[in-house]
Structure 1
């Protein structure tokens, strides 16, 4: 048995039927929300050219990509991200579009992660991309959809942290700090490593105003109105002023959605700062240590493929969501089930198969099988498969074994179907 475990590579897993059903239902639920807002589902290739991603700053690091060589010697990568391929698709196929575009997706992502940090190397992500609209309303809609997705999955104890990429960009640009140092400062702020941040800033020959501002950024976190008010103290150029006004607008619109209670502000959220150009956000569930969703505005991405189009979007980690379900014991009693098992002999096979199909057309989940001798093994298997009722064809009559209460009934076929009107569908396929 130990040898068998080695057949599965690190960072991937088998998904068994009950969990898979929960996962599929979750994806279907989220996709229906996206669709209700007018987002149209698309799918990009499972693998793309490595060059598509290698030149994009601030996104997926090259060491996190699964790379391989095709027959022509070209370097390909398994899909490490969905936003970049969508930007490529838009720049290639929608150059003449003068309006906005709304796309949604639910697909698998592949990244090389250190197994010790608990992240999977293959995971499912669902998300949206809203292109061609640079107004605060589009940013707010994307954040609102992220919140609604979590609510519709049954979660309430979560928080969305909002940030603004241009606020930090404006400050660091005004400070005159060399680019090679900026990366370190960003990392220390993102990690809230106050000691290291203080040390590196102490070594720089810059105005005390900027040292104090950069030291304060990790603390600019909390309730929106109060945090934005504190951030106004460090505004020193038009870019920072514009970014704060934009964040205020987005927050105000989200209050109109009725989602104020889920929101906080974090100006220290500056990861991938080169990639994002406006409002950014991350979603956290209480007591779960990692983000379940993230997104933001990235207006310059399509331009790198020859067609400028402002854009915003987010991605939701479905596998992380399932871990949250497990942590909170949501769906713990769920099990795949079958409504009816139709058993027939060779002589009445046609009748049995017709009855099974009639039941399926009514929305029931139905299995059928040949039963020439003892029914005992079918009963044992039915219990293992969580089958609610066995229907045995006995000439013109039916023998029904209700496995929920261990009762046996006899009916004609017409009586059986007439009685279905009063029965509950236990595991409808619709």
Structure 2
């Protein structure tokens, strides 16, 4: 068991100062009372002497009444003088006792200093003050520790965010697609800088029906097959998202609030609401190109709606084309006036425009590694595209080597 003196160290300087301060104040009060008593006794003696002198120089000794009154006055002054002397002696004895008590306390304090043991002569007020000071110091140390921990956590989060923003982006802020034959080259470089860079488990993935998949197989079977751009039902093509060239990890896309749909079987047309507000929480953003899935990272969205008349006019042509393409479906079944009417509704501010702002908040390393291994095994959807590879020019006498077959348009 640890020694008591080690568990509760005594602040000797503070204790001595407190004892001296308390005793000094009491001694000063006693001295002041003693001086006042001495002054009163001296005044009484002076009054008695003056009274005796006045009685001695009286020229009419036959006046017994005056002599009697003077004698009574002298007796009264003597009694007052005796009472003052008694009070003076009492104060002197009290002062002597306090002085003796002070000497004993000093001796006891000196003995305690020599033994280096906790003091037992401290007043309750002094003990309470010391306890409150120790508690305050403990609270301050605890608060400083918490502030340092929070500062370190904030600094680590800032470094992690900067590291996440640099993942798989070139100087222009575009996603870098790694080749399948060298899947871990970039990650080896990143691991040397930051160990805990990814998540230890798979996050739930958002799909069209807002259902979550806990395993990668379920995610591949249910989320990747139906569309080119996974986890985001309102953006179908990767070119519909305009990525920022100055702020890495940020992008924007425009979404129509309503879609004018033609029903082939009923030969009718109707407006269908585009429920953008169903996007909840972070999601994993992927896109598919030539039967291979590319992973962009973990993103979150901010929904902004605008009804300004000049908003549609200031949009870039690519955003205008997307709005018109997504607003009017099955154009072959609709008259051309419908498309013009919808465009005029955007120009007049009748239809508001929804903007989705994308912000990258992380990177799922486990999902990325799984895509590198199984990405080509997942069959992409059949869709129409006009991509056509150009064969390199061949010299005379050489075969046309490296030409790729032209993709056929699906119907």
More helix by share: 2
With the shorter chain as reference, the TM-score category is under 0.3
More strand by share: 1
